[in-house]
Chain A
């Protein structure tokens, strides 16, 4: 099993930057996903990191440090529509046991964007 920790809630102003941290403790690791989930809706994929470093996609960036068991999601130029829950998910297993692509999810970070 794995422990995945992320803050419960963060508040930021429209146009600002917010960084959502995720730490994990794992016996096996094959990558980390970030998903966005608006209230009552399905999670939607944002980013995937399997190697150390920063991945940038428009206003969203994600960083991974495997040695530290740490990732963050950076949201720039915040918009009201970015108010949502952001889920960190670790891909479990290693080698042949990873053929199912199972994910372990954190509880999610609720981001509230204020005018």
Chain B
């Protein structure tokens, strides 16, 4: 089983819909991150969290919200999806700041 699991793996939806992307981990890491990846732009940080009481905005948080339901679960929501949020979304975890981040397999989201 994967250590960092993202669901769904693929999603096609319409403009204006509310969407939730979920991430769960079995690594026991405190730090969790949400990124989006667009061609030519690399990975950009949306939100990050140290624990259930610590939620922080990243570089591109507008239009997104998150919930850290437990140490192992970190969900990303798009309250009203728009086409320019079409991207590949990754969740990642880390044990310590100087340790590598471990990525889930990604969610490919298309908004029509």
Interface positions of A (Cβ within 8 A of B): 1, 8, 30-31, 33, 40-45, 48, 50, 87, 89, 91, 98-108
Contact = CB atoms under 8 A, between A and B. Distances in A.
Interface in B23-57: 31, 33, 35, 40-45, 48, 50, 56
B61 to A, nearest CB: 13
Nearest to A31: B98
A43 B90 CA distance: 9
Interface stretch (B65-73, B74-82, B102-110): B102-110
B41 A30 contact: no
Which of under 10, 10 to 19, 20 to 34, or 35 or more describes the interface residues of B?
Answer: 20 to 34
24 contacts: A30-B98, A40-B106, A41-B105, A41-B106, A42-B90, A42-B103, A42-B106, A43-B103, A48-B98, A99-B50, A100-B56, A100-B97, A101-B94, A101-B96, A101-B97, A101-B98, A101-B99, A102-B33, A103-B45, A103-B101, A104-B45, A105-B42, A106-B42, A107-B40
Contacts of B58: 102
Main secondary structure of the interface of A (DSSP, over half): loop
Contacts of B40: 8, 107
Contact of A102 (B48, B98, B102, B106): B48
Interface of B: 31, 33, 35, 40-45, 48, 50, 56, 58-59, 88, 90, 94, 96-106, 108
Nearest 3 A-B pairs (CB), nearest first?
A101-B97, A45-B100, A42-B103
